[in-house]
Amino acid sequence: MLSRREFAGGAAALATALSTGARAQAPQEVKIGALYPLSGASAQIGNDAKTAFETAVDIINNAHPELDLPLGKEPGLPGLGGAKIRVIYADHQGDPQKGRAEAERLITQEKVTALVGTYQSAVAATVSQTAERYGVPFLSADNSSPSLHRRGLKYFFRAAAHDEMFSAIMFDFLDSLKKKGQKVETLALFYEDTIFGTDSSNVQRKLAGERGYKLVADIKYRANSPSLTAEVQQLKAANADVLLPSSYTTDSILLVKTMGELGYKPKAILAQAAGFSEQTFVDAVGKQVENYITRGSFSLDLARKRPTVGKVNEMFKAKSGRDLNDNTAREFMALLLLAEAIDRAKSTDGAKIREALATTNIPGEKTIMPWKKVGYAETGQNNDADPVLLQYTGGKFLTIFPEQAAVAEAVWPMSKS
């Protein structure tokens, strides 16, 4: 029979063992896979995304009490004993099938807890299907194709707006110009042939019909085409009041350079972001597109109201030499939101993280975005991700629409010449 002292000692040893076991079960780090084009024509996009994620990792893994953001106050993930986030990168090279293979490698070999990506919507389509098959959450950081969240996937989530939301605000803007007496009657669609371009054009074609605009050009071109001469000649002949392009960076640069070579100066460009939101694009074409307009998820103007926006931008700029833009801001927030859900789940189990994502409810003020809030519908889409329109004027982007977010009046048309 055990003495009282022996019993107490055994109980204490058991408690210590249980406590040690519980601590041992909490991971020291949580691995998240990020899939981006890290080589090829879109390599700069992938490298900028890495910097955005590195900025988010810094905030998650270290204490930043000055930032009013999820996980900013204390180091690591409190729900997992202070575990740190580590991002493992994979290069999909803009190829959907390469993306599928890399997603599977990250899940089965690297044992990542969740996935984030992917810039190109066509790649997101295959990556998210792979994630679904393995029961691993995928957070779409910067993909805008509306078809992505309508496939019945349970592990797909997107915090940012999609092209139906973006296009709606673009047409709201055009409507507002007409009410002010501006001549806005004819439109030209110009879009690349992957899921991003085709989905974007389908939405814009529908909205043009519903709102009484005439399409005088509807041009689909091959993504990464070596020449756009024939297409630009068609645009020049159509001479629409507004050119609506949906193109990635290299195509955007080629489009504008070809317009210059052929002497085509659009009256106005209202772009579906993508390449048109990139500093690489602006550096390459310079004043050729002064006063062009792009839709966006993010505006640095918000720093005037929210100091956290400016502080995060300073952190990002210290690493990259660039300001946050539409893509990098979405990428930064995506990793932060994914880590926040993992923390609430208190687990690295895919099903538990999925449940935490599904119950996300974060006020827009706790992000760096102009959103009402972050909360996902049954489809995985955040329907409160309010977009804005930005005009590139005098070397910087200024918010011009909607009126409640605007800091400047729109210059319209784009060029008087």
The pLDDT of 90-98, averaged and rounded, is: 97
Q: What whole-number distance in Å separates Cα of residue 401 and Cα of residue 363? A: 21
pLDDT at residue 23, as a whole number: 40
The CATH class, in words, for 26-161+305-386 is alpha beta
Task: List, in order, residues 6 or more apart from 242 with CB less than 8 Å away.
Answer: 174, 184, 186, 187, 188, 266, 267, 268, 269, 270
* Distance set, CA 126 to CA 117, 223, 388 (Å): 11, 18, 29
d(CA 204, CA 240): 15
Tokens of 151: 């496939």
List the single range of 40-44, 75-79, 219-223, 329-333 with lowest mean pLDDT: 40-44
Strands 114-117 and 156-158: unpaired
H/E stretch holding 243 = strand 242-246
Q: What is the pLDDT of residues 188-217, one digit of tens each?
A: 999 999 989 999 999 999 999 999 999 999
Can you name the residues that pair with 87 across neighbouring β-strands?
32
Q: Which fold has domain 164-296+389-401?
A: Rossmann fold (3.40.50)
pLDDT digits 0-9 by tens, 99-122: 999 999 999 999 999 999 999 999
Give the pLDDT of residue 24: 45
Position 15 scores a pLDDT of 45
Q: Give the pLDDT score at 12.
A: 47
Residue 157: name the closest of 399, 321, 342, 398 by CA: 342
Break the chain into its structural domains and give their ranges.
26-161+305-386, 164-296+389-401
Interstrand relation of 29-36 and 114-117 (parallel, antiparallel or unpaired): parallel
Return the pLDDT at 286.
76
Same fold, 26-161+305-386 and 164-296+389-401: yes
